[in-house]
Structure 1
Amino acid sequence: MRWAGLIPAGYSAVLAALIAGPLLGSGYLLLRDAVSTPRSYLTDSALGLGDAAPRAVPQDALLAAMSPIVDGGLLVKAMLLVTLWAAGYGAAVLARELLAVPVGPQLVATTVAMWNPFVAERLLQGHWSLLTGYAALPWTALVAYRLRAAGSSIAAWGALAGCLAAAGLTPTGSLLAGCVALLTVGRRNMLGTLVLLAAASAPWLAATALSGAGGEPSDPAGVAAFAARAEPGLGTLGSLAGLGGIWNADAVPNSRTTPIAIVATALLLVIVASGFRAVAAARPDDRAGLRIRRTLLAMAVAAVALPALAATGWGMEVMRWLVVDVPGAGLLRDTQKYVALAMPAYALCAAAGCRALAARIGERAANSADTRTVARGGAVATRSVAALFIALLVVPLLDLAWGVGGSVRPVHYPIGWQRVAEEIEKPGDVAILPGGMFRRFPYSGKVAVLDPAPRMLPRDVLQTGRLPVRGLTVAGEGTRAVEVENTLLHGDPAQRLADLGVGWVLVERSTPGPLGDSAKTLAQLEPRYADDHFALYRVPGAADRATESQGAHRIIAIVAHLLWIALLIGGLLTAAVRRPGRAVRR
């Protein structure tokens, strides 16, 4: 029995390897929004101080700081594997602590957390860092339970700090974990939780305040473009209830485009419904657990219902008002990602349902006079029901295995990227051709991928932030990058680039895209490097736009990042060193 606690951890590791298997080989993750590179740099953009809203902070700064020591591609793959494992194991531990279920139901909770459309779709969209916030949710609920059940302790507060900081790898992750924490810790722990959440969010809060980009209104066209999508036969509400419905119809497993999606959603909801009453049931010896469980159930209902409402006509009107009139509300436009908040409750309900069904089956053996036979029959029933539930969850979404059917796989960059990076020096930022932020390289596969240049090059790369979504173009927040791109496409004099602070122009030759009359401007520039994939030019007369205030902003942003990393490492170490015993004995 001492080893029983290790079974969910091992099972989670097996599922993580099965899901991310292709990434165990050499190469780099480059798929839609996911970009990993051998080396990245601590530019202003990496700190969130560029023109665009700081959506990848502190993720980019962490990779920039670590990649000189450890290959950046290896870092991303390791973080993704740990994230998947943590999501599954966290769900198992949460079910064990809040429901006191045996190993079989814990494995069911693990399967619900790891093997679902949300994980598949976010992997296909390249949102690996968002999954870090997703993985932190069951752990955050668990720490909140321990704070309420056993009272405040250094270990519990350290664990909460570590959870919020880990989730804070992206701003959305902070919001997800913050919602769970603030709704579950209880009133007496609210102030301390708010302080920790603010500290864990310091990198992107500081970047938003310093750059001003996050405070600018977002393009209202993004509301319809990023609204939750109705899958065939399910509608928007059914898609969200099944933990699917991402806005990008191309970033879904093949099984979700067939009637199998209806079957998979029905099976998931039946399994979840089978344990709903047990999770909501009152237990006189565990008031803290009851409040946490009921809060998680209410959160799951809201996480499904509110994104569905936001996809209606009047819901979109409300969302447009938010993103236009409320600074920073652009973080809310991709409403489907908040269905992640349903995962902890779904995992608990599935585990409780497994135990309840096994108990009913075990009652039939209760007439036997042999107590050992009764106990053995109950254990067999639990294992059998757990195996059945796991099969019903896995088989309809079998194409999640092996990198979602091989789509999530590593690529290999041409050596030209390294040579271009070695050529670029001060002063001036980098402009990119062709226009746009997305590329189709020969080595990156069939889908459009985010241009890796901002992470590959040692100077800030100017990008417009324009996103092509569902046939629409959603505008970015900044204006300088748009001016630079228009200058190139219109063939304006090179001096105009220099005046805008551009010192380099990189032409990515192996991807399609608009070039306009840029040849006129390029003819006035100094060629510095060329091969089959790239042509690099130096802009004469370029000057560095760095000012004293920008230097001060960098210092503040770096301090905010250091606070975040201290919270992450210090919190997790405190929780590990001063690990508490069981919060409640049942």
Structure 2
Amino acid sequence: MGRRGAGAAIWTSSVVLSAAVVAPLWSGEYLLYRDAVSTPRSHVTDSALGLGDLPARAVPQDWAVAVLSQVVDGGLVVVGLMTLALVLAGVGAGRLAQRLLPATGTPGALAAVAVAIWNPFVAERLLQGQWSLLIGLAALCWVALAGLDARARGGSSWVRLAAWCAVGAFTPTGGLFVAVIVVAVVVVPTVLQRRARPTLVAVGVVVLANLPWLVASLLTTAPATSDAGAVDLFAARAEPGLGTLVTLAGLGGIWNADAVPGSRTIGWAGVATACLLVVVATGVPVLLRRRRRLPLIRELSAVGVVAVVLCALAATGPGRSVLGGLVDTVPGAGLLRDTSKFVALAVPVYAVAAAAAVQLIGRWVPRGAAAGAAILLVVAPLPDLAWGVGGDVRTVRYPADWTVVADEIPAGSGDVVTVPTGTNRRYDVTGGAVSLDPASRLLRVPVVAGGALVVDGRTVDAPPPTSRAARADRIVTDGGTAADLARLGVGWVLVESQYTAAPPGTMLMTKPGVCSVTVPVTGLECVHDGPDLALLRVPDPTVVRASGIDRTTTWAAHLAWLATIVVGIATATRRRLIQWRDARP
């Protein structure tokens, strides 16, 4: 098969596998499932820029979705990005296999595609609603390839590397993913070679890609450190019949036992993990023989092994103590506490190992048959990744009240406080599935929230008692006046009445009459009363906004991030057009 035919096969297989996962989400409705929240339109509020009282955990993600949703329905934006992430993860793995193991041919590349898309990491992060982490996963193989070219010949390869790093840094965690790959593939080798210039350029590329959340973290009023108690809650979890190390080696181990495919909640998890590891282990001898001639194999192997081992160590008693100390004292270290997500760093070498397995077995059987066997061992043991992870990840249609409320609240009219307080919800429309409150994404003004998380009845990341969010929450639960809220910058109280079985620590509200909500605050004006939501206005609020300098600075950082991607796409397109022109007879 020629080069173009091989490329077409890689793209086609990536699209087919990705479609098998996300097809039901292309319903025209919206995600409202755990951390995954999409809305018809979102807005560039201070919160979306990473400014305000909460850590910049979703920057530049929220800004990008808000900007795109001005021209395309927000539900389509999120599902489109999710689908694109899976496709690019597969294509990147296929191209990496082609580059490092050209003798394995198209069959080996297709096995690499299957490993990159069809694995427990993808399933668990979709079930947790962390769809944006898939974008970080998608960038890994592309960053490795661009980094290899940049350190070898420089030039426009640096532009390509910067663009892929920016894509990966769609979230702060994704930014850490690509930073690790750049350090392993570019920084360490050039430091050992005493080549200062490429080392400095590589560091600059990583900083540029992560600029939005780095700038926002410097400007936000949120605490720079995190609750050490969350380390125990978010530690990697062993699957049935497997230890923590083996679970992580099988690309699983998410802390939330409810965010696991059904097939991995029973003894079958051991069979599925064994199948994946057999494919990877079969290719290891080929990788060992080539590691000296192809240093990138050695570097990606080191990243994968170290990531899995460190994640396992972080789940032990001493590991939790060390990590707890880090997140409690080192700014930004809270990104490390959900340790199992870093098994994504093993995916590139696993994909290449799968291609190597096809090459090895292909000595005795046709490579197409070897690839088919490898793909079957990867896909068949995880059947419930298909169709929205067995139908658990699904879309919903928002009740009409949400549209009415969104239209009623203009920009710059004061922040919103929700009743009940907190961010976790179980709405009727989701069938009781836990989700985040969509108000912060749907409304034109920020929602005052402290960012506290309730896991198994335990609260972590609770805001300081003197914070604006904590004071506003006390007023709407314990009592106060509209003037008290107005002084805090609150212009609206949103009462969400239609949900059931609220998580521990929240309060079920009822609406016995027209705007007769059980909010113990006097002086509020009723604006809307519907079956799902009641909206009350706080007269004359003192509007709290980030300074013009802070907003301009964060906007500049986001635009620089976007420009990095756009320039990378333009450069790659120009290069491709030149190649096509030169290939013409």
Pair 1:184-2:185 in alignment? yes
Matched-pair contact (CA < 8 Å) for 2:254–2:340: yes
Matched-pair contact (CA < 8 Å) for 1:95–1:351: yes
Question: Aligned to 2:32, what secondary structure does the other structure show?
Answer: strand
Question: Aligned to 2:523, what secondary structure does the other structure show?
Answer: coil
Which of 249, 272, 280 in structure 2 is aligned with 1:272? 280
Matched-pair contact (CA < 8 Å) for 1:489–1:516: no
Inter-CA distance 323–192: structure 2 relative to 1 (3 Å threshold): same
Distance 1:581 1:357 in 2: 34
Quick one: higher RCO (CA 8 Å, sep 6+), 1 or 2? 1
Matched-pair contact (CA < 8 Å) for 1:29–1:411: yes
Distance 1:446 1:274 in 2: 44
Pair 1:241-2:241 in alignment? no
Aligned residue in 2 for 1:232: 240
Deviations 1:432-479 (A, max 9, x none): 011220111111233210000000100110112111223421124563
Matched-pair contact (CA < 8 Å) for 1:494–1:521: no
Task: Provide TM-score, normalisation by structure 2.
Answer: 0.92
Inter-CA distance 116–538: structure 2 relative to 1 (3 Å threshold): same
The farther-off stretch of 569-578 and 47-56 is 569-578
- Mark the runs of 5 or more structure 2 residues left unpaired by the alignment: 510-516, 581-585
Matches within 5 A, 1:191-340: 191-213=200-222, 215=224, 217-282=225-290, 287=293, 290-340=294-344
Aligned residue in 1 for 2:170: 169
Letter in 2 for 1:198: V
Which of 109, 128, 131 in structure 1 is aligned with 2:131? 128
Matched-pair contact (CA < 8 Å) for 2:124–2:252: yes
Distance 2:542 2:458 in 1: 36
Question: Aligned to 1:251, what secondary structure does the other structure show?
Answer: coil
Which of 412, 422, 433 in structure 2 is aligned with 1:447? 433
Deviations 1:95-121 (A, max 9, x none): 000111211111111111111100000
Distance 1:476 1:196 in 2: 35
Which of 548, 551, 556 in structure 1 is aligned with 2:548? 551
Pair 1:433-2:407 in alignment? no
Compute the displacement of 1:277 (Å).
2.1
Matched-pair contact (CA < 8 Å) for 1:47–1:57: yes
Aligned residue in 2 for 1:542: 541
Letter in 2 for 1:275: G
Inter-CA distance 422–6: structure 2 relative to 1 (3 Å threshold): same
Matches within 5 A, 1:468-547: 468-476=454-462, 479-512=467-500, 513=502, 514-515=506-507, 519=518, 521-546=520-545
Letter in 2 for 1:570: V
Distance 1:283 1:429 in 2: 56
Question: Aligned to 1:68, what secondary structure does the other structure show?
Answer: coil
Which of 77, 81, 84 in structure 2 is aligned with 1:82? 84
Pair 1:418-2:406 in alignment? no
Letter in 2 for 1:488: V
Distance 1:515 1:446 in 2: 16
Which of 328, 350, 354 in structure 2 is aligned with 1:350? 354
Aligned residue in 2 for 1:387: 372
Letter in 1 for 2:361: L
Matched-pair contact (CA < 8 Å) for 1:58–1:203: yes
Distance 2:309 2:458 in 1: 26
Matched-pair contact (CA < 8 Å) for 1:501–1:543: yes
Matched-pair contact (CA < 8 Å) for 2:54–2:221: no
Question: Aligned to 1:4, what secondary structure does the other structure show?
Answer: helix
Distance 1:63 1:8 in 2: 28
Matched-pair contact (CA < 8 Å) for 1:253–1:399: yes
The farther-off stretch of 507-516 and 349-358 is 507-516
Deviations 1:543-583 (A, max 9, x none): 2123xx6121111110110000000111122123125979x
Distance 1:407 1:119 in 2: 14
Q: Percent identity over the alignment? A: 48
Matched-pair contact (CA < 8 Å) for 2:415–2:447: yes
Distance 1:135 1:315 in 2: 29
Compute the displacement of 1:78 (Å).
0.8
Matched-pair contact (CA < 8 Å) for 2:427–2:433: no
Distance 1:515 1:125 in 2: 24
Pair 1:105-2:108 in alignment? yes
Deviations 1:46-98 (A, max 9, x none): 00002111010001011111211111111111111110000011101000001
Aligned residue in 1 for 2:387: 402
* Aligned positions, number: 554
Distance 1:202 1:481 in 2: 27
Inter-CA distance 232–527: structure 2 relative to 1 (3 Å threshold): same
Matched-pair contact (CA < 8 Å) for 1:158–1:574: yes
Question: Aligned to 2:398, what secondary structure does the other structure show?
Answer: coil
Letter in 2 for 1:434: P
Letter in 1 for 2:30: Y
Letter in 2 for 1:199: L
Task: Provide TM-score, normalisation by structure 1.
Answer: 0.92
Compute the displacement of 1:523 (Å).
4.5
Inter-CA distance 166–283: structure 2 relative to 1 (3 Å threshold): closer
In angstroms, what is the RMSD of aligned CA positions? Answer: 1.7
Question: Aligned to 2:535, what secondary structure does the other structure show?
Answer: strand
Matched-pair contact (CA < 8 Å) for 1:184–1:295: yes
Aligned residue in 1 for 2:146: 143
Letter in 1 for 2:124: E
Matched-pair contact (CA < 8 Å) for 2:90–2:114: yes
Question: Aligned to 2:492, what secondary structure does the other structure show?
Answer: strand
Question: Aligned to 1:20, what secondary structure does the other structure show?
Answer: helix
Question: Aligned to 1:528, what secondary structure does the other structure show?
Answer: strand
Inter-CA distance 245–283: structure 2 relative to 1 (3 Å threshold): closer
- Mark the runs of 5 or more structure 1 residues left unpaired by the alignment: 363-380
Distance 1:424 1:306 in 2: 47
Question: Aligned to 2:430, what secondary structure does the other structure show?
Answer: coil
Pair 1:116-2:116 in alignment? no
Distance 2:475 2:291 in 1: 68
Which of 27, 35, 53 in structure 2 is aligned with 1:51? 53
Which of 62, 66, 69 in structure 2 is aligned with 1:67? 69
Aligned residue in 1 for 2:514: none
